[in-house]
Structure 1
Amino acid sequence: MEQTKTILNPLIEKVRAILEPFGFKVYPFKVGRYNELIEEKYRLSVPDDTLGVLVLSIPDMWENAFIPFVKQQDWDNWNEEKNPLHECMIHHLDQVKQSFPEHDVEVMHQFEMPNGQAKILVQTAAHVAGAVYYYQRRDVTEQPWRVDEEMYGVSFHPVYGRWISLDGVFIFKDVLCPDLPQRAPKDVLPDRNERVELLEKIRNFRVPRKNADEHEEYLFSDLHRKIDIARRIKSS
């Protein structure tokens, strides 16, 4: 296996060069740090020092990646069981995998659910990579909720707030990064009351850009409507 000093920086910069023009951001992390925080059934079966790369998208992805992808598709022959946005993610992340034929790269998408179980817990991976702060119930002191009340965690980006999508992870199985420093996520909500409000309401904060209305409409539509929106984009 190759060592961090010789290949890590050029490798990460190459991934960035491929994805960032399309509205994606990438963050490296050591798999062992991810495995430490999750249940055994979700752990990745690679050495702790193996390189992982978290991929997230910002609102620019809609115009820079999705709309061009949609306009290139043959909608008369589209498979109605396929989610257009998922297919767009597969297309762009596969471009990275194909650009590293010399490496053993596994792509894990956030929407993959083999046997009904998430292949990768992207919120934990994003927190470990320092990309977002993953606020959870345990981050709130003097909790106002009942013990048996279920509260979902929220990933919050220091620039874009919740207006991101955690799209997936690359695992470079033949690359070890023992010297990769751990990047702590920025805690933009140190106040206890703000954390409570975020977890209860997924509060809107000022960000440089939010998702386009059409993007939001897509995200909250069923598959049939998603395909209709993609066809509308193609014809516009």
Structure 2
Amino acid sequence: MLSDPTVVTALTVSLGITAVGTAVSMAVSVLCAYGLSRPRSFGQRFVLLLLIVTMFVSGGLIPSFLVVTGLGGYDQWWALILPSAVSVFNILVLRAFYQETSSELIDAARMDGAGDWRILWSVVLPTSRAVTAVTALFYAVGYWNSFFNVMLYMPTDSQKWPLQYVLLTYVNRANGLPGSVNSGFGNTQVQTAPLSLQMAVVVLTLVPLVIVYPFVQKHLRTGVLTGAIKG
């Protein structure tokens, strides 16, 4: 399976999209959540209301496709990241956690001459590692498992397909990998079984998450329970 260039390229594409997408999503979410968590910040209520409305009201698939393609996103890498870069739910979770940051720490930092950027980097983020790690994990899993945007914006160029979409094509077509013919004894050639190939690609898609999860597991409970009802 790994000798096929399609799978190797798809694995590289998936890793790149996951890394870049998670970084972009975390940057936008952290900055937005911090701004909304500060009292008397400019336009706080309006922006918060606008974000909440988008959780329940959506323009739909066709308008989203027209917007992305109208901006030149068809067959472009950024079309796999930017349309799903922001999750309002994650922003609200981060905002709730940032609001619980000790006001004494923030006031002490301001007395020492720290600005908002310094407070965010040196005070808020170090005290919210749990929710930050869990949010990053949610974004990473979302990007890693995403394949629908590929169907919309780059369905023809197989060199840009992530691993999940390659797996989808193998499952739907139920065929083997190009060049996955193994030589047997003499002149006999044995074709790789489709089911075994599908299961092998499934295992390959799970390996990166299995490697990353133990490092985030200790923060999972604290991050997920943030904002939950305590009784």
TM-score category (smaller protein):
under 0.3
TM-score normalized by structure 2?
0.26
Given the two structures, how large is their TM-score scaled by the length of structure 1? 0.26
Determine which structure has greater relative contact order: mean sequence separation of CA pairs < 8 Å that are 6+ residues apart, divided by chain length.
Answer: 2
The answer to which structure has the higher strand fraction is: 1
Structure index of larger Rg: 2
